Amino acid sequence: MKASELEKIREMSENEMQGRLKDLKTELFNLRFQHAINQLDNPMRLKAVKKEIAIIKTILRENELKNSAEA
C-alpha cells in the first residue's frame, strides 16, 4: 500500500473507518465463499483485503491509544 493511500485512511473519521472495515469484512466473506466453490478470479485479492483490514484496525487502535493518553 502506498504512503498516499495510508494518509487517506489516516484522514478518515472513525465512523468512516468503521464503515470501510465492515465493507472489507463483507468482501472477505464473499471472496472466501467464492474460493471454496472454485469461482475466485483473483486469489491475490484475498491477501489484499486481509492486509487492508489489518491496516485499518491498526490505525483505529493507534487513535484509541492516542486519545486515552491525552485524557
Q: pLDDT tens, position by position, for the chain (71 residues)?
A: 788 888 999 999 999 999 999 999 999 999 999 999 999 999 999 999 999 999 999 999 999 999 999 87
Comparing C-alpha atoms, which of 2, 9, 3 is closest to residue 62?
A: 9
Could you give all domains of the chain from N- to C-terminal order, each with its CATH number? 13-70 (1.10.287.310)
